[in-house]
């Protein structure tokens, strides 16, 4: 993929287009991220005269959340003013629904709902249209953080957490799948089910009317994967000892659910609202079960078709012939757009952006705090691609995770010492 992307001249920072072969397309990097701020966010430390008391504001007040993309060809992913004028001249049915990829919400009680996967999918549909308008013959390389809203599965995805042990009941109707060819071979005289299409829902003409159109559940799904079910019965010591979810897997599921709830509360700026029990569950030190045949839940979790189920947004992007990748977990700082969010908040504190500006004019004012033009834009885009080049030197894209700490340190030094406009007034350090 690296050879299909722009490179940059070390001296002039001018983009150098790749040499494409027959049938190859230019690949363009598009990092995405969300940030949240509050109207009363201010620096934690202030200078005061002797005896003077700070005027503390009561709480952070309303939250402002922004989701946006940057693109290495033009900075923020949006149409230029000239392109916006051209769009206005088109018939209504031929126009883009939006001309700017960013989405801004004001979440909280009695306000907008908190950011989630459906909102991201709606934004992504408009964003893909904008990208196609700007680069109709290119492939987008869309990169996301590993958050719950980014990695959410489709409603009918293969997800063992949405399955009951027995048929019917309140469980998700899942899509058809193919039984993994990597499953154990069948016993002598048994049918080889590997590679066969498996329906996860009983047919409407099922002999038992109570099961018609109902989800099969774990037992029925595993029995149709005959060799896997036989191996499970053998490992646990008999069919009567087969359980839906063992104690260790249940504890691990509770821990992961608690971690997800804590992460969502922190992202929403509601750390104080987290229940102590949830924090305790998230802090538990639990290892993944070493026994791969402890229960039906564990066995299905490790089946190739379940384990390799792709996130919903990845399915959408790949259906439009784009590439979808995710940054390593807990290393969101390598996302280049994080530098812009930091600069935005720094500018908000430094230049005393008022509440009316933040609430009423954030689509214009806040994004103007992050200049993306001329030499500064070239420097930022060069840095973005430099991050990409460093991380993509491994065949699995993120194979060099051991050097991430060193990489992020170099990024901060590179930005602050060499290119910070307030230090060197836009001049490079020699």
Between residues 285 and 83, which one has the greater pLDDT? 83
The Cα–Cα gap between 183 and 193 comes to 9
Q: How many residues does the chain have?
A: 430
pLDDT tier for residue 98 given thresholds of 50, 70 and 90: very high
pLDDT tier for residue 322 given thresholds of 50, 70 and 90: very high
> Taking residues 361-381, what's their average pLDDT?
47
Q: What is the mean pLDDT of the chain?
A: 76
- pLDDT score of 321: 93
- pLDDT score of 108: 78
Contact by Cβ (8 Å): 106, 62: yes
Tell whether the model's pLDDT for residue 196 goes beyond 50.
yes
Tell whether the model's pLDDT for residue 269 goes beyond 60.
no
Of 24-38, 112-126, 257-271, 369-383, the range with the lowest mean pLDDT is: 369-383
pLDDT tier for residue 275 given thresholds of 50, 70 and 90: confident
Between residues 71 and 396, which one has the greater pLDDT? 71
Tell whether the model's pLDDT for residue 364 goes beyond 90.
no
The Cα–Cα gap between 149 and 118 comes to 8
Between residues 119 and 106, which one has the greater pLDDT? 119
The rounded percent of the chain whose pLDDT value lies above 70 is: 70
Of 6-15, 126-135, 166-175, 395-404, the range with the lowest mean pLDDT is: 395-404
Tell whether the model's pLDDT for residue 149 goes beyond 90.
no
- pLDDT score of 270: 61
Of 125-134, 137-146, 297-306, 406-415, the range with the lowest mean pLDDT is: 406-415
* Structure-token match 């392109």, residue found: 83
- pLDDT score of 408: 42
Domains (range + CATH), the chain: 2-152+311-424 (3.30.420), 160-241 (no CATH)
Tell whether the model's pLDDT for residue 422 goes beyond 70.
no
Q: What burial letters (b/e) apply to 165-177, b meaning 16+ CB within 10 Å?
A: bebeeebbebeeb
- pLDDT score of 126: 95
> Taking residues 134-141, what's their average pLDDT?
93
Tell whether the model's pLDDT for residue 296 goes beyond 80.
yes
Q: Which residues contact 315 (CB under 8 A, 6 or more apart)?
A: 154
- pLDDT score of 85: 93
Of 184-193, 222-231, 280-289, 360-369, the range with the lowest mean pLDDT is: 360-369
pLDDT tier for residue 133 given thresholds of 50, 70 and 90: very high
Residues 20-74: tens digit of each pLDDT: 999 899 999 898 988 887 766 665 566 677 777 766 655 566 778 889 898 878 7
> Taking residues 236-250, what's their average pLDDT?
89
- pLDDT score of 355: 42
Contact by Cβ (8 Å): 174, 154: no
- pLDDT score of 232: 93
Q: What burial letters (b/e) apply to 44-57, b meaning 16+ CB within 10 Å?
A: eeeeeeeeeeeeee
- pLDDT score of 410: 42
The Cα–Cα gap between 118 and 86 comes to 30
Of 170-179, 248-257, 292-301, the range with the lowest mean pLDDT is: 248-257
Its pTM stands at 0.72
Q: How many CB atoms lie within 10 A of CB 397?
A: 17
- pLDDT score of 380: 52
The Cα–Cα gap between 355 and 378 comes to 32
The Cα–Cα gap between 243 and 323 comes to 39
- pLDDT score of 413: 39
For Cα atoms 111, 366, 372, give the angle at the middle one, nearest 5 degrees: 140
The rounded percent of the chain whose pLDDT value lies above 90 is: 31
- pLDDT score of 7: 79
- pLDDT score of 61: 65
Tell whether the model's pLDDT for residue 424 goes beyond 50.
no
Between residues 245 and 388, which one has the greater pLDDT? 245
């Amino acid at each position: 993929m690296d050879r299909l992307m722009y490179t940059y001249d070390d001296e002039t920072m001018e983009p150098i287009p790749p040499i494409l072969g027959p049938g190859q397309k230019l690949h363009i990097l598009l990092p995405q991220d969300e940030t949240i701020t509050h109207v009363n966010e201010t620096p934690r430390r202030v200078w005061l005269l002797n005896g003077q008391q700070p005027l503390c504001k009561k709480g952070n007040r309303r939250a402002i959340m922004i989701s946006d993309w940057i693109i290495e060809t033009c900075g923020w992913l949006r149409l230029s003013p000239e392109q916006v004028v051209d769009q206005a001249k088109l018939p209504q049915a031929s126009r883009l629904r939006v001309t700017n990829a960013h989405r801004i919400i004001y979440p909280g009680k009695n306000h907008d709902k908190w950011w989630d996967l459906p909102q991201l999918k709606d934004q992504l549909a408009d964003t893909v249209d904008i990208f196609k308008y700007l680069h109709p013959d290119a492939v987008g390389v869309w990169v996301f953080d590993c958050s719950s809203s980014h990695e959410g599965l489709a409603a009918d995805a293969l997800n063992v957490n949405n399955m009951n042990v027995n048929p019917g009941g309140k469980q998700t109707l899942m899509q058809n799948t193919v039984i993994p060819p990597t499953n154990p071979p069948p016993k002598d005289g048994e049918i080889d089910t590997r590679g066969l299409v498996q329906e996860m829902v009983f047919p409407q003409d099922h002999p038992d009317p109570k099961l018609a159109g109902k989800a099969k559940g774990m037992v029925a799904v595993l029995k149709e994967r005959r060799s896997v079910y036989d191996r499970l019965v053998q490992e646990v010591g008999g069919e009567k000892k087969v359980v839906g979810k063992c104690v260790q897997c249940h504890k691990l599921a509770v821990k992961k659910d608690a971690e997800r709830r804590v992460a969502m509360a922190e992202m929403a700026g509601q750390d104080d609202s987290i229940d102590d029990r949830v924090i305790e569950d998230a802090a538990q030190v639990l290892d993944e079960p070493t026994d791969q045949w402890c229960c039906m839940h564990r066995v299905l979790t490790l089946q190739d078709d379940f384990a390799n189920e792709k996130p919903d947004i990845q399915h959408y992007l790949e259906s439009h012939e784009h590439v979808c990748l995710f940054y390593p977990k807990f290393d969101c700082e390598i996302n280049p757009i994080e530098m812009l969010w930091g600069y935005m908040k720094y500018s908000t504190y430094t230049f005393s952006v008022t509440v009316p500006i933040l609430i009423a004019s954030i689509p214009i004012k806040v994004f103007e705090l992050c200049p993306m033009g001329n030499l500064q834009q070239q420097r930022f885009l060069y840095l973005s691609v430099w991050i990409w080049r460093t991380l993509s030197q491994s065949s699995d894209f993120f194979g060099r995770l051991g050097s991430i700490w060193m990489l992020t340190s170099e990024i901060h030094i590179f930005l602050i010492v060499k290119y910070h406009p307030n230090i060197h007034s836009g001049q490079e350090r020699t």
